[in-house]
Amino acid sequence: MKNILKVLSVVLVFALVSVGLYFILSAFGLVSIDEIRKMIEHSGKMAFLVYLIVQTLILIAFCFVPEVNLALIVLGVVLFKPLEAFILCLACVFISNTALFFIGDKFGEKICAKLIGKKELEHLQDLIDGKSKAILPILFVIPCIPDEALCLVIGMTKIKYWYFILVSLIYHTIEIGAVCFLGSGLIDWASFGVIDWIMFINLVVVDIYLFTKFEKFLENKINKKRTEKQKINKKD
């Protein structure tokens, strides 16, 4: 129990830094959505790049601040065409989620290892590893958990990056797509029939299940190759 509390304390430190940074910059008006909008509008041909950089940096710096991503997606819809906003927002999420995952992996893990010891950390990671894989898609859906903060914490577990990023992109594709296209009126959701909704639900549930199965298949292949290499090395 003490070890878990120490790990949570590391997460709390990241959270305090993130929220503290947000309030400091907010006091100077540097995180105002209106100011960001004006800056991007005056960027001319560089508007796409400026939006990509600004949103990515904000998502990383303020990962523990709730609803930041949603506000920036809405801003993207206001500034660009629905498809352009969708592609830009998805790219920002991919970059920021990847960065936060590896920050958690490289720095959070080292801090935890120093606090509770490397063996104890590995033991805790083994305990939550299997369960984390199963509930990861659910965690992304829970409103009270900031998605970016989740990326940081997941980086401290033994979940593989490619599995994490696939689940993240599936969820965020639906989330961002709903805001960009539903908000713009490009998709007429009222006209959806039974088959349309079945296909939509399939994307959310069945595809995640298939990715989990695919992950197990790849893991078995990798483990098999490792075993074969170890046997060859022993013979040599």
DSSP assignments along 74-121, one per residue: HHHHHHS-HHHHHHHHHHHHHHHHHHHHHHIIIIIHHHHHHHH-HHHH
pLDDT at 30: 59
- Cα torsion 30, 28, 99, 154: sign: negative
Cβ–Cβ < 8 Å for 158, 199: no
Residue 37: half-sphere exposure toward Cβ, Cα within 13 Å: 13
Return per-residue pLDDT of the chain as tens, 236 residues.
555 666 667 777 777 877 777 777 676 665 677 778 888 888 888 999 999 998 898 888 888 877 778 888 888 888 898 889 999 999 999 999 999 899 888 888 777 777 667 777 676 666 556 556 666 777 776 666 778 888 888 888 878 888 888 888 888 888 888 888 775 544 554 555 666 556 655 665 666 566 566 656 666 666 676 677 666 666 65
Residue matched to tokens 């629905």: 82
